[in-house]
């Protein structure tokens, strides 16, 4: 895969030998690729990513993978608060409000290729291909409700769990019941926590709880109607069952 190495961001530091475990997908929310390059390579902005993918599928390598790019900000996943240190950040030239408000086929083709390459290189779990909204659900929305996660699923890049049976869900529910966890809200919070989400304080903060649910629904239920809370519970139980089976 060919990269454009013409532009380099000064915004990075050392990973301190931490292992790369995550791939984080963002969108720039800027007008075009040139504006994104200017922003991500501006020392004063203190923001960067390892890669930027243009609407035409061009891939710009802005920060070497061995370095810690500054793309995640204040974020969390699976007990880690320094997501930048364990992740590769990929920015997409997309803005919900601009002319670049489509995830083009060329862009998605390049994204698939680069994810597969990084997955293989660092042995990254299919559960750890994330959106910015997964690691920062209370402040970020990207890559947004229109991002076609289904296309990555079809390419076998993501964890597939729609084939989990009702009897499998019963196993999960039985475990919760055995441990005297019967409140559906508490079950949802624990499930999201086990998957990796930041559930700190959400049980007592209704606004945060709803933001967390919305982040999950946009990510996993956008294809089937993410406003249905009953669907949320069923999908989440399937997800948790498959995740626990495949966890390494």
Tell me, what's the pLDDT at 224? Answer: 62
Residue 44 CB neighbours (<10 A): 7
Tell me, what's the pLDDT at 207? Answer: 96
Question: Given the DSSP bridges, would you call strands 22-27 and 87-92 parallel, antiparallel or unpaired?
Answer: parallel
Question: Given the DSSP bridges, would you call strands 87-92 and 67-69 parallel, antiparallel or unpaired?
Answer: unpaired
Whether 8 contacts 73, CB under 8 Å:
no
Whether 169 contacts 234, CB under 8 Å:
yes
Give residue 209's Cα distance to chain centre. Answer: 18
Residue 220 falls within a domain, yes or no?
yes
Same-domain status, 140 and 26: yes
pLDDT string in tens for the chain (248-residue length)? 899 999 999 999 999 999 999 999 999 999 999 999 999 999 999 999 999 999 999 999 999 999 999 999 999 999 999 999 999 999 999 999 999 999 999 999 999 999 999 999 999 999 999 999 999 999 999 999 999 999 999 999 999 998 899 999 999 999 999 999 999 999 999 999 999 999 998 999 999 999 999 999 999 987 665 566 778 999 999 999 999 988 64
Tell me, what's the pLDDT at 227? Answer: 61
Question: C-alpha angle with apex 221: 56 to 148, nearest 5 degrees?
Answer: 10
Q: Which of 44, 65, 91, 173 is catalytic?
A: 91
Residue 203 falls within a domain, yes or no?
yes
Tell me, what's the pLDDT at 162? Answer: 85
**What CATH number does residue 79 fall under?**
3.40.80.10
Residue 5 falls within a domain, yes or no?
no
Same-domain status, 224 and 192: yes
Same-domain status, 140 and 29: yes
Same-domain status, 140 and 183: no
Q: Which residues of 170-190 are buried (b: 16+ CB within 10 A; e: fewer)?
A: eebeeebeeeeeeeeeebbbb
Distance (Å) of CA 62 to CA 4, 93, 122, 211: 9, 14, 19, 31
Residue 237 CB neighbours (<10 A): 23
Its sign, for the CA torsion 40, 196, 20, 51, is negative
Same-domain status, 137 and 183: no
Tell me, what's the pLDDT at 43? Answer: 98
Same-domain status, 95 and 184: no
Residue 227 falls within a domain, yes or no?
yes
Residue 218 falls within a domain, yes or no?
yes
Reading the block at residue 85, the tokens are: 């240190």
Residue 182 falls within a domain, yes or no?
yes
Its sign, for the CA torsion 241, 199, 212, 147, is negative
Same-domain status, 172 and 146: no
Q: Which of 132, 154, 176 is the last residue of a domain?
A: 154
Same-domain status, 97 and 148: yes
Residue 184 falls within a domain, yes or no?
yes
Tell me, what's the pLDDT at 217? Answer: 93
Q: Which of 101, 119, 154 is the last residue of a domain?
A: 154
Tell me, what's the pLDDT at 222? Answer: 74
Alpha-carbon distance of 73 to 244, in angstroms, equals 28
Q: Structural domain of residue 233, as residue ranges?
A: 166-246
Reading the block at residue 86, the tokens are: 């364990």
Residue 160 falls within a domain, yes or no?
no
Same-domain status, 58 and 113: yes
Same-domain status, 104 and 38: yes
Give me the number of domains the chain comprises: 2
129 by Cβ neighbours in 10 Å (0-12 / 13-18 / 19+) ranks as buried
- pTM given for the model: 0.96
Reading the block at residue 212, the tokens are: 């967390």
Q: Which of 99, 132, 154 is the last residue of a domain?
A: 154
Same-domain status, 109 and 182: no
The answer to whether 91 is a known catalytic residue is: yes
Tell me, what's the pLDDT at 85? Answer: 98
Same-domain status, 56 and 115: yes
Q: Which residues contact 165 (CB under 8 A, 6 or more apart)?
A: none
């Amino acid at each position: 895969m060919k990269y454009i190495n013409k532009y380099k961001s000064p915004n990075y530091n050392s990973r301190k030998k931490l292992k790369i475990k995550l791939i984080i997908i963002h969108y720039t929310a800027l007008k075009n690729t040139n504006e994104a390059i200017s922003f991500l390579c501006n020392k004063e902005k203190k923001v960067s990513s390892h890669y930027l993918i243009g609407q035409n599928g061009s891939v710009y390598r802005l920060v070497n993978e061995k370095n810690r790019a500054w793309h995640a900000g204040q974020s969390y996943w699976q007990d880690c608060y320094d997501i930048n240190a364990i992740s590769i950040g990929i920015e997409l030239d997309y803005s919900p409000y601009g002319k670049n408000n489509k995830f083009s086929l060329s862009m998605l083709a390049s994204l698939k290729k680069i994810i597969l390459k990084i997955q293989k290189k660092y042995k990254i779990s299919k559960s750890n291909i994330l959106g910015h909204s997964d690691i920062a659900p209370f402040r970020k929305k990207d890559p947004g409700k229109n991002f076609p996660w289904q296309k990555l699923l079809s390419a076998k890049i993501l964890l597939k769990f729609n084939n989990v049976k009702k009897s499998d869900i019963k196993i999960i529910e039985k475990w919760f019941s055995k441990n005297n966890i019967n409140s559906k809200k508490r079950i949802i919070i624990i499930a999201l926590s086990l998957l990796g989400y930041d559930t700190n304080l959400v049980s007592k903060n209704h606004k945060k709880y709803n933001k967390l649910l919305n982040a999950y629904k946009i990510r996993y239920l956008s294809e089937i109607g993410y406003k249905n809370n009953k669907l949320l519970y069923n999908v989440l139980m399937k997800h948790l069952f498959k995740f626990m089976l495949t966890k390494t």
